[in-house]
Structure 1
Amino acid sequence: MVTTAKAVGDLFDLIERKPDLLVDADLTVERDGVAFTVRGYDDLVAVDLPSLGAAFSLWRDRPVQGRSVAAALAAAGLTAEIRVRGAPVARLGADAVPSPLAKRLGFGPVQLFLDGALLAITPRRG
């Protein structure tokens, strides 16, 4: 049986030998009864969730550590942007600029957008 660390290391080795990836996707994904969208625009993958709680749940239950995900995305030339109701709340991967807050919270190489988080928790009108 292959350990997760070995499998992730093998994935990094494979990705580093390949040219940058481009993603073209338009998906609706359902996880634990919560639907969200995943859209790929060349080197950006946008994951749009319906609530901040759904974003935290997705982060908490990820199969690999955030640092490994960010490193794998960067090695592939990809950036993932996590959005809540269309407002960007986090970015990781090639174009992410790690924020001091993310470092303090132990999130690793993740860029957090506080203004996006504020928009995400603001109730919608109408």
Structure 2
Amino acid sequence: MATTTKAVGDLFDLIERKPDLLVDADLTVERDGVAFTVRGYDDLVAVDLPSFGAAFALWRDRMVGGPDAAAALAAAGLTAEIRVRGAPVARLGTDAVPSSLAKRLGLGPIQLFLDGALLAVTPRRG
């Protein structure tokens, strides 16, 4: 764990010495047979997953903890928005307003969108 902490600390030191990042990306990523998109719009990186199962798997297997990821994004001037089926369900980084529910759940400084979660689980017509 000390290696990870040192690596994250080194990353923060490096990022804080640089100007804010701008991201321009339009990717389709496949992980464990599940495809999802990553799109960058200047200081927003949107990760759109096909299901909550895919979102939970990605969160569970992350290399950096939620608080560290949020801090790294904020230090770089970036915001990540997690979407499920196009509906925003969580945001972390610069423009996130951490929710008390996320803190109580131990997720760290993450903004949760309950209305987005409801949209994500609602069956689509047509």
TM range (shorter): over 0.9
Identity %: 89
Cα shift at 1:98: 0.3
Q: Which runs of 4+ in 1 moved over 6 A?
A: none
Partner of 2:101: 101
Could you say which residue in structure 2 is the equivalent of 1:122? 122
Q: Structure 1 residue 110 and structure 2 residue 104: aligned?
A: no
In structure 1, what is the Cα distance between the partners aligned to 2:31 and 2:42? 25
Structure 2 residue ranges without an equivalent (≥5): none
CA drift at 1:125: 1.5
Aligned-residue offset at 1:64: 1.1
Q: Which residue of 2 is the match for residue 23 of structure 1? A: 23
Q: Distance in 1 between matches of 2:43 and 2:53?
A: 26
SS of 1:72's partner is: helix
After superposition, where does 1:1-126 map in structure 2 within 5 Å?
3-126=3-126
- TM-superposed CA distance for 1:123, in Å, is 1.2
How many angstroms apart in 1 are the aligned matches of 2:48 and 2:19?
Answer: 27
Instruction: Name the TM-score, length of structure 2 as normaliser.
Output: 0.97
Q: Secondary structure at the match of 1:15?
A: helix
Distance 1:22 1:105 in 2: 31
What SS does the aligned partner of 1:58 have?
Answer: helix
Amino acid at match of 1:43: D
Q: Aligned equivalents of 1:47 and 1:8: distance in 2?
A: 22
- Post-superposition CA distance 1:46-103 (Å, at most 9, x none): 0000011111111111011011100000000000000011100000000000001101
Report the secondary structure of 1:96's partner residue: coil
* TM-score, with length taken from structure 1: 0.97
Shift of 1:124: 1.4
